[in-house]
Amino acid sequence: MDIERPNPDQLLSQVTAEEAKAKRGKLKIFFGASAGVGKTYAMLSEARQQLLQDVDIVIGVVETHGRIETEVMTDGMERIPLHETPYRDHALKEFDLDAALARKPAIILMDELAHSNVVGSRHPKRWQDVQELLDAGIDVYTTVNVQHLESLNDIINGITGIKVWETVPDRVFDEADEVVVVDFPPDELIERLRQGKVYLPEQAKLAAKNFFRKGNLLALRELSLRRTADRVDGEMQAYRRRTLMARVWPTRESLLACVAAGEHGEKIVRTCARLAAQLDVPWHAVHVEPSSPSGESERARQEILRVLKLAQDLGATTAVLPAPAVASALVRYAREHNLSRLVMGRPSRRRPWRRPLGDAIEAEVDDLDILRVSLAKSTPQKASEPVRPLARTPIRWNDYLAALAACGTTALLATPLLGVLELSNIVMLFLLAVVGVALRFGRGPAVAAAFVGVGLFDLFFVPPRFSFAVSDFQYLVTFAVMLVVALVVGQLTAGLKVQVEAVTERERRVTGLYEMSRDLSAALMAEQVAEIGSRFLATEFGFKSAILLADEKDRLRVMPGAACDVDMGVAQWSFDRGEAAGRSTDTLPASKCLVVPLKATMRLRGVLAIELEGIDLLRPEQRRLIDTCALLMAISFERIHYIEVAQRTIVQMESERLRNSLLSAISHDLRTPLASLVGVADTLQMTKPAPTSQQLELIQTMRNSAMRMNALVGNLLDMARLESGAVHLNQQWQPLEEVVGSALASGAAMLEGRPLKVDLAPDLPLLHLDAVLIERVLFNVLENACKFTPALSPIEIEGRADSQQVIVTISDHGPGLPPGREEAIFEKFERGSKESATPGVGLGLAICRAIMQAHGGTIHGATRATGGAQFILAFPRGEPPSDDGTAVENPEEPGHE
Amino acid sequence: MSEIRAKILIVEDEADIRRFVRMALESEGHEAFEADCLKRGLIEAGTRRPDLIVLDLGLPDGDGVDFIRDLRGWSNSPVVVLSARSGENDKIAALDAGADDYLVKPFGAGELMARVRAQLRRRAQQATPGEPMIRFDDICLDLSRRVVERNGEPLHLTPIEYRLLACVATQPNRVITHRQLLKLVWGPGHIEDTHYVRVHMANLRKKIERDASMPKHIVTESGIGYRFVL
């Protein structure tokens, strides 16, 4: 899949992170290997540079430790006075955070990021002060020594033997905007130390002797450089994510998994897949097929193909290479595909007569890395193989028989030794047998073995032999102790075994889950998700399952491929409540299935039904695993749902665009004949001899109809353009007066004879308008007023400005707007009254609204209290340019006068 | 009114429109020639030496603006442009290139004839360098003395307002774009600052128009510029 394409969420979070970052101050860390390398000095020189460029920079804290050269650097820089806290008989000085925040410089210097503040400060640590400064938008310069980094603290303690208590979380370091490494060669540092140029606190003087050894310094220096390199690597990865350059980066260190017959191919493939994921490199999986016909059995071949299929699923490129010599075939393949590392199995035991493949390859070439995966003890997990049942394991009598046999054998073996060994040592042999049984067969058989062992011991070894009677009273103590010890050891051993098994089991489950989530993330269809989920449940537990998805109307629908019958009642209950139901829950436990809701972030997507034949209660970890599986599936369903939504939207947008362009084309083609129609009518009017008055009237009608048609086409065209988003606003700052004037001029014919009152406040600001479109808005509103009011009734236009916007009201003296439809009249193809004889299709006001919205303004209609309609247009004020060109000199024409 | 008989070239690809324009022109006694494409139009303009050209901007074989640029190299015959309503940028480009007026389709024959008459009259006036006095309403603009008077009383204009008025008033009936005014008054460095023109034009109107919100002389051509009407 396209991993290198960042998804919208990623981009969004990146944008928000960047926004937050832009507001936040920047943290610059001067990072050094140890004290005395000159971090503070470096910080101060940088600060002085900034100061020269007039940056507002102040000193929060700088520890000069009385060093003259450092002290000199601080000369002439503003300092935030330290805050004094009275403590017992003297005052403790500490950085004054509130003063710094109040001062709000551009940059503040905060030496020694790891410093612990004195008791009673706002934050216990200085780095917390720094966080607050950064949050306030202040840039911070600071210094850190490598041993103060939390994660390296232990390592450095191990190297140098000095425990540092003042630490900085690595997060702070990693989130810093810039890290400057102040590097200083250890030899010179030791020299500086010898000259007494390095400040050390009194109590540290002794420790320092050990600390400033060359070995330590070298180690610290390496650590600091490596830590910075890690950070740079992290930055690089972030950069790659940002700039989608994944593909451009050269392929490196690619892996080749070598799958051989009869070995544990699956493990090799999985290991290789994991490595490839960690290294973020592509990988291949190949199997070399010997060309001799006796080479492989059909079954082995099937197994190999299955493993290669798995590799393919895990993202590998796979191949089967027919070749006589396995090693050279692999080497050739690796060369051809530029793969530098081979991953292969290490046989569990060496056969002296067979040279391992790895050795053979090593003998052939020496520039390929070979990784050998341990295959010992790994039992292959076949995907098709149902795993053991989950109910209580039935008592396995064989184990108990084996325990008895073990005790019997011990008794037999010990009998000839009776004369040689002390009785107490024979007891030991029995204990050994119990431990063995516990390890092999578990708790129950171990208990049995303990009792039988004691019995056999008494019967065969304790005099009188062959009788349970005991001659010496002391043996009772022996028996008791032996029994107790046997029981305890047996229990402990068996417990250990159970734990190991549990851990292995958990590990396996997590791996399974991980693989499932990987598969899910690649799934593109709901069916795939259902199949992956079912496969996981079948593989992990041997459960049959079915998935029910909800459709638009929240009706559950069984997905194809369901392996079990679903009780729809239980499923619906679970879906409605969003809770699990059915077997192994408290709700409807008699049902055959367990039903788990598929709860995604936005809503329930459906339910997962699992058939639990013969199992009454699931173990908690099983239940957890099933819930996790359900969650993963739900998220995948949701993702797929949104992919579909997005695709639908794109299709919708596309068809909308098509419709609009079609509309434009039609409108345009309608207009040309109209133009000639109008022209011809006009010309007809001018013919000589002059037409009769009746003819003239007909000609006029023809012309007017054509003009009206044209207006209609114009409206349609405008609406199409506005809706398709093809309108590019040509906004310019201009006085409202001019637009009103041109609208009145273009409407002069229809307004003829009407008393017009234009009242624009003298203080109206310039507005950022597209003059043509706003003229159209005013024209349409005026036209509307003319249409619906009695002829010769007055119209008033008024313009007022408030602090936020400029309001233009156009009022008439007609019947007013139809009550309750003040908003509806702005809809497309809406008219005040349906049966009106007034011409028009009701696009005019819809266009007005679209244009006003494009300008960030609004238009509303109302009926005035005094009667008559009123249209209120609100324009945002914006920030008009203050320069009106009065002071601008024309270079071409010197001012006259 | 048809005192001027002129040779007029119609460059238009729609035969119907061409025909009625021709009929309208001929009904006023003008002599009309037709061209249906840009190439043909240039040839006709070169050979017939028309007194005025009616030019459609949307020609099949090229841009009308190029036609005007080409024409202006060797002729200063007035050009009236015909265009679609939404093509503000085309109109501005044509006017900047040297067109004198424009008409939006569909237009009436009466409208067209009025524009043609105005352009022919202006051309005739330019031919006879005359009167340095321009009079409209009760206002008199004396170009030689650089004074504006209303009923003989001096009217105080700022230098910029005077220059704006002089620019538009000397070219009556011609559409002058914002760009052309900016270049003439403020210099080529300010041709994007259209609000300069608008602000000062608004002030100028308040001084010379009877009703500044319904101007009679300095008429706004929305989104394009101004036209001075005597």
Per-10-residue mean pLDDT of chain A, 897 residues long, equals: 55 68 83 84 88 88 78 83 77 84 89 83 82 88 86 71 74 83 83 70 58 79 80 67 47 74 71 76 80 54 74 75 76 80 74 70 79 62 37 68 90 85 86 87 85 88 81 84 86 81 79 87 87 87 87 84 81 84 76 87 87 73 81 90 90 79 70 83 81 89 87 79 73 89 87 88 89 90 88 90 90 85 77 54 82 90 86 90 74 47
Q: List chain B residues with CB under 8 Å of A890.
A: 185-187
Task: Using the predicted structure, report yes or no on whether residue B138 has a pLDDT greater than 50.
Answer: yes
Q: Sort strands A107-110 and A57-61 into parallel, antiparallel or unpaired.
A: parallel
Question: Would you say B71 and B63 are in contact if contact means Cβ atoms under 8 Å apart?
Answer: no
Distance from CA of B223 to the nearest CA of A (A): 5
- Contact state of B196 with A884 under an 8 Å Cβ cutoff: yes
pLDDT in tens, B165-217: 988 888 888 899 998 999 888 888 888 888 888 889 988 988 888 888 888 89
pTM of the complete model beyond 0.80: no
| pLDDT of res. B1 | 44
Q: What is the per-residue pLDDT for A837?
A: 52
Chain A: closest CA distance from residue B72 (Å): 23
Find the closest chain A residue to B161 by CA distance. Answer: A886
Residues of B in contact with A710 (CB under 8 A): 106
* Residues of chain B neighbouring A672 (CB-CB closer than 8 A): 14, 17, 105
Mean pLDDT of the B10-25 span: 87
How confident is the model at residue A497, as a pLDDT?
Answer: 80
Query: What are the DSSP calls for A401-467, one per residue?
Result: HHHHHHHHHHHHHHGGGTTTS-HHHHHHHHHHHHHHHHHHH-HHHHHHHHHHHHHHHHHHTSSSTTS
Distance of alpha carbon A173 from alpha carbon A165, whole angstroms: 17
Euclidean distance between CA atoms A465 and A470, whole angstroms: 9
Tell me what percent of the residues of chain B surpass a pLDDT of 70.
94
A880·B195 Cβ contact <8 A: yes
- Tell if the CB–CB gap between A675 and B219 is shorter than 8 Å: no
In whole angstroms, what is the distance from residue A312 CA to residue B144 CA? 92
Q: Which of B199, B210, B217, B219 to mutate to test the interface with A (most CBs of A within 10 A)?
A: B199
A697, amino acid identity: E
Nearest by CB to residue B106, choosing from A679, A766, A775, is: A679
Which residues in A lie closer than 8 A to residue B163 (C-beta atoms)? 893
Q: What pLDDT score does A873 carry?
A: 93
> Cβ contact (<8 Å) for B106 and A746?
no
Tell me how close the Cα of B191 comes to any Cα of chain A, in angstroms. 11
pLDDT at A715: 81
Which of B88, B188, B196 lies at the smallest CB-CB distance from A885?
Answer: B196
Q: Would you state the structure tokens that stand for residue A789, as one six-digit string?
A: 């009011």
DSSP state of A284: E
| Amino acid identity for residue A247 in this structure | R
- Binding-face residues of A in 867-886 toward B, CB within 8 A: 880-881, 883-886
Q: List, as ranges, residues 739-768 from A with C-beta within 8 Å of B.
A: 739-742, 744-746, 756, 758, 760, 766
Contacts of A687 in chain B (CB under 8 A): 27
Report pLDDT for A387: 36
Q: Which of A651, A784, A772, A643 is nearest to A7 (CA)?
A: A643
ipTM of the complex: 0.88
A720 contacts in chain B (CB < 8 Å)? none
| Nearest CB partner across the interface for A771, out of B16, B86, B223 | B223
Tokens representing residue A679 in the block:
């022209």
Chain B residues with CB inside 8 Å of A888's CB?
186-187, 190, 196
Determine the number of helices (DSSP H) and then strands (DSSP E) in chain B: 8, 14
Instruction: Give CA–CA dist B44/B9, Å, rounded.
Output: 8
Given CB atoms, is A732 within the 8 Å cutoff of chain B?
yes
Sign of CA dihedral A52, A53, A56, A59: negative
Burial (CB count <10 Å: 0-12, 13-18, 19+), residue B92: buried
Q: Which residue has the tokens 């890395």?
A: A369
- When pLDDT is averaged across residues B92-100 and rounded to a whole number, the result is 90
Q: Identify the closest residue of chain B to A756 by CA–CA distance.
A: B214
Nearest Cα of chain A lies from the Cα of B222 at a distance, in angstroms, of 5
Q: What b/e sequence results for A343-372 when a residue is b if at least 16 CB atoms lie within 10 Å of its CB, and e otherwise?
A: bbbbbeeeeeeeeebbebbeeeeeebebbe
Contact list, B57 vs chain A (CB under 8 Å): none
CA-based nearest residue to A780, from A825, A818, A737: A825
The strand pair at A139-145 and A369-374 is best described as: unpaired
Comparing alpha-carbon positions, the chain A residue that sits nearest to B16 is: A676
B188 contacts on A by Cβ (under 8 Å): 892
- B213 contacts A737? CB cut-off 8 A: yes
Residue closest to B119 by CA, chosen among B105, B134, B99, B89: B99
Phi, psi (degrees; rounded to nearest 5) at A615: -115, 125
Rounded to the nearest 10 degrees, the angle between the axes of helix A443-460 and helix A397-414 is 30
| Residues pairing with A756 in the sheet | A795
| Residue of A730, A732, A764, A890 to mutate, interface with B, max B Cβ within 10 Å | A890
pLDDT digits 0-9 by tens, B36-58: 888 899 999 999 899 999 998 87
User: Cis omega (within 30 of 0) on the bond before A689?
Assistant: yes
3-state secondary structure of B193: coil
So what's the pLDDT on residue A83?
A: 82
> Do A880 and A845 contact (CB within 8 A), yes or no?
no
DSSP assignment of A62-82 equals ---TT-HHHHHHTTT-EEPPP
Q: Which residues of B touch A674 (CB under 8 A)?
A: 106
Q: d(Cα A528, Cα A102) in Å, to the nearest integer?
A: 59
Residue B78 has pLDDT above 70, yes or no: yes
How far apart CA B211 and CA A758 sit, in angstroms, is 10
Nearest to A735 among B16, B105, B202 (CB): B202
At B190 the pLDDT is 83
Query: Which tokens in the block code for residue A514?
Result: 């991980």
For residue B226, the model assigns a pLDDT of: 92
Does residue A688 sit at the B interface (CB-CB below 8 Å)?
yes
Euclidean distance between CA atoms A142 and A42, whole angstroms: 10
CA dihedral A367, A373, A374, A380 (to 10 degrees): -150
* Residues in A touching B200 (Cβ below 8 Å): 884-886
Quote the tokens at residue A315: 């993202």
pLDDT confidence band for B33 (50 / 70 / 90): very high
Output the six-digit token pair for A346.
């290490």
In 3D space, the residue among A477, A375, A373, A379 whose CA is nearest the CA of residue A424 turns out to be: A477
Give the chain B residue nearest A729 (alpha carbons). B223
Nearest CA-CA distance, residue B226 and chain A, Å: 10
B213/A742 Cβ within 8 A: no
HSE on the CB side for A652, CA within 13 Å? Answer: 6
pLDDT for A381 equals 40
Please indicate whether, in this complex, the C-beta atoms of B195 and A734 are within 8 angstroms of each other: yes
Rounded to whole angstroms, what are the CA distances from B3 to A457, B116, B121, B171?
A: 146, 12, 10, 21
Residues of B in contact with A741 (CB under 8 A): 212-215, 220
Of A675, A888, A889, Cβ closest to residue B17: A675
pLDDT for residue A11: 67
**What would the 3-class secondary structure string for A494-551 be?**
HHHHHHHHHHHHHHHHHHHHHHHHHHHHHCCCHHHHHHHHHHHHHHHHCCEEEEEEEC
Q: Give the relative orientation of helices A474-522 and A526-541 as an angle to the nearest 10 degrees.
A: 170
Nearest to B161 by CA among B150, B172, B148, B152: B148
Cα A544–Cα A550–Cα A556 angle in degrees, nearest 5: 65
Q: E strands along B70-200, which residues?
A: 79-83, 101-104, 133-136, 139-142, 147-150, 153-154, 175-177
Q: Which of A672, A739, A744, A847 to mutate to test the interface with B (most CBs of B within 10 A)?
A: A672
Q: How far is A885 from chain B (nearest CA, A)?
A: 5
Cβ-Cβ contacts under 8 Å, B222 against chain A: 739, 742, 746, 771-772, 775
- Is A817:A787 a contact under the CB 8 Å cutoff? no
Selected residues 646-685 of chain A with any CB under 8 Å from a CB in chain B: 668, 671-680, 682-683, 685
